[in-house]
Amino acid sequence: MSNFLLTILAAYGICFGLMNDKAAFITGPLRRIPLFPDDQGQTFFARMLSCPYCTGFHAGYIAWFMIHAHVVLTAPSWGMIGEVVATAFASSAACYLLDITAEWVEHWSSGE
C-alpha cells in the first residue's frame, strides 16, 4: 500500500474519531475553549469538529506527521512543506467524500 493511501486512510480514521468524540479527552476541552462563539453559543472548535472537510484538513497533516515522523526528524527539507499542505487538502476532500458516502449508505440502508 502506498504511503499516500495509508496517510489518507489514517486521516479518515483520525477525522472520524474526532468528529464522533472517540477521543473525548481531546475534543471535550477543545469544545469548551470560548474562541469565536456564534449566535447559538457554539465555539470555533465545536463548529470545526462537526465539519468533515475542516476536521479532515487537520487530520491530514496530523496523519502525515505520524507516518513521516522519522523523515522529519532525520532529514527535513523544504519540499516537505508542500507535501504536508497537499496531503492536508487531499485529506479534507477524501474525508468529506467518505463522510457523505457513509451518510448516504446509512440513510438508504435504514429503510426510511
Grid cell digits, residue 42: 457554539
Note whether 40 and 78 are within 8 A (CB).
no
pTM: 0.84
Note whether 80 and 111 are within 8 A (CB).
no
As a whole number, the mean pLDDT across the chain is 89
Summarised one tens digit per residue, pLDDT across range 78-98 is 888 999 999 999 999 999 999
C-alpha–C-alpha distance, residues 18 and 87, integer Å:
18
> What does the pLDDT average to over 50-62?
95
> What does the pLDDT average to over 67-75?
83
Q: How confident is the model at residue 74 (pLDDT cuts 50, 70, 90)?
A: confident
Residue 1 has pLDDT above 70, yes or no: no
